[in-house]
Amino acid sequence: MKPLSHIASFLMFALLAGAADAHVVLEQRQTPVGQPYKAVFKVTHGCEGSPTVKVRIDFPEGVIAVKPMPKPGWQITTTKGGYAQGYKFYHGTTLTEGVKSVVWTGGSLPDDFYDEFIVNAFIAEELKPNQTLAFTVTQDCEKGQMTWSETAPPEHQLHLKWPAPLLKILPKASEHDH
């Protein structure tokens, strides 16, 4: 039987996940360290009825080797920069710089529809498990802009107007988990 604290944590996470669906959210909200991660950002609405025409995602430290997926009708630009430290990557390499933000422009996402903006990335094994990473997403519309960047302790997440998409970092998967 699970301790009550685990059940309470699960219920809080479920409530937050449901409430966050009205904003920009991650499809998979948890992943282990030292693994590839397909980040699917769901943009669920425009700006007070106005279509979305630009989406910018800024990646937190430790999310490395970012590669965006092209979207028909949208152009992609990336901004690269140095990481705060070197991170171990495949085949014994160490990455010290990479994509820090991705911007999709040129398309139009009407308020009546939703779409997904996807990147492939790697969650650095140097990150500590059981922490939560926040992504900043800026959504520009024909009229207006929303920046999804607010964070708070779990008990206050429901009160945020502009919550950032959150990713919970889990311990590294064991060889038996594959």
How far is Cα 125 from Cα 33, in angstroms, rounded to an integer? 5
CATH number of residue 121's parent domain: 2.60.40.2230
User: Quick one: tokens of 39?
Assistant: 């980040």
- Binned at pLDDT 50, 70 and 90, residue 22 comes out as low
Whether the pLDDT of residue 99 is over 60: the answer is yes
Asked if the structure places residue 135 within a domain, the reply is yes
Whether the pLDDT of residue 3 is over 90: the answer is no
| Torsion angle in degrees (nearest 10) through CA of 125, 128, 130, 133 | -80
**Residue position matching structure tokens 């594959």:** 178
Asked if the structure places residue 1 within a domain, the reply is no
Side-chain half-sphere CA neighbours of 13 within 13 A: 13
**Residue position matching structure tokens 């308020």:** 111
Asked if the structure places residue 155 within a domain, the reply is yes
Asked if the structure places residue 12 within a domain, the reply is no
Asked if the structure places residue 11 within a domain, the reply is no
| pLDDT for the residue 144 | 95
Domain count, the chain: 1
- Binned at pLDDT 50, 70 and 90, residue 53 comes out as very high
Asked if the structure places residue 5 within a domain, the reply is no
Asked if the structure places residue 18 within a domain, the reply is no
pLDDT top residue among 7 and 152:
152
User: pTM of the predicted model, to two decimals?
Assistant: 0.84
**What is the domain range of residue 150?**
25-59+67-79+101-171
Whether the pLDDT of residue 154 is over 50: the answer is yes
Whether the pLDDT of residue 131 is over 50: the answer is yes
* Short-list 120, 153, 102, 117, CA closest to 31: 120
Mean pLDDT over 128-142 rounds to 96
